[in-house]
C-alpha cells in the first residue's frame, strides 16, 4: 500500500499554475523534522509535493511560506528526458490536507480555533 502522511512547514509560498485543460496544479515543498543525527544535530527532510485541482486551489488560497501543513497522499516516481538523459522525480502526490491553523491572506496573526477562547467572568459558578 502506498500511503503517506507528512507534517511539516512550507519552505516557500505554494506555486500554482494551470494546465492547458485548465486544471490547477500546485507545487510545494515541506520541511519535515527527521529527528537528530548521531551528533545531536536536528535533521530536516525537504519533501517535494504536488497537489491537483481543488486541493491545489485550497493550498494556494490558505497557506504561505512557514505555515504548518499536514498532507496525505502517495509517493510517486516519474521520469522524463532532458538533453538526451533520463531524469527521475520522486514526490508526494497530495490528495488531502489537514488545517493545523487558520491564517488570513493579509498576514494577520492566526485566528484562534475557538477551542480555548477566553471565558467571561462566570461570577464564581464554574468549579475550576
Residue 41's domain is classified under what CATH number? Answer: 2.40.50.140
- CA–CA separation, 49 and 91 (whole Å): 5
pLDDT tier at 114 (50, 70, 90 boundaries)?
A: very low
- In-domain check, residue 40: yes
**pLDDT band at residue 21 using 50, 70 and 90 as cut-offs:** very high
Give the number of domains in the chain.
Answer: 1
Q: Is residue 109 part of a domain?
A: no
pLDDT of res. 108: 52
User: pLDDT averaged over the chain?
Assistant: 85
pLDDT reading at 26 higher than 70:
yes
Q: How confident is the model at residue 37 (pLDDT cuts 50, 70, 90)?
A: confident
Q: Say if 128 falls within a structural domain.
A: no
Would you state the pLDDT for residue 36? 87
Residue 103: inside a domain: no
Structural domain that includes position 33:
4-98
| CA pair distance 21, 105, nearest whole angstrom | 27
> Is residue 120 in some structural domain?
no
Amino acid at each position: 500500500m502506498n500511503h503517506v502522511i507528512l507534517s511539516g512547514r512550507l519552505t516557500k509560498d505554494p506555486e500554482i499554475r494551470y494546465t492547458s485543460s485548465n486544471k490547477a496544479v500546485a507545487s510545494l515543498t515541506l520541511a519535515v523534522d527527521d529527528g537528530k543525527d548521531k551528533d545531536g544535530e536536528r535533521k530536516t527532510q525537504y519533501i517535494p509535493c504536488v497537489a491537483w485541482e481543488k486541493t491545489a486551489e485550497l493550498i494556494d488560497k490558505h497557506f504561505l511560506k512557514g505555515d504548518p501543513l499536514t498532507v496525505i497522499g502517495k509517493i510517486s516516481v516519474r521520469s522524463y528526458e532532458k538533453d538526451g538523459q533520463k531524469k527521475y522525480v520522486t514526490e508526494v502526490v497530495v490528495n488531502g490536507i489537514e488545517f493545523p491553523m487558520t491564517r488570513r491572506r493579509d498576514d494577520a496573526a492566526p485566528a484562534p480555533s475557538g477551542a480555548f477562547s477566553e471565558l467571561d467572568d462566570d461570577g464564581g459558578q464554574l468549579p475550576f
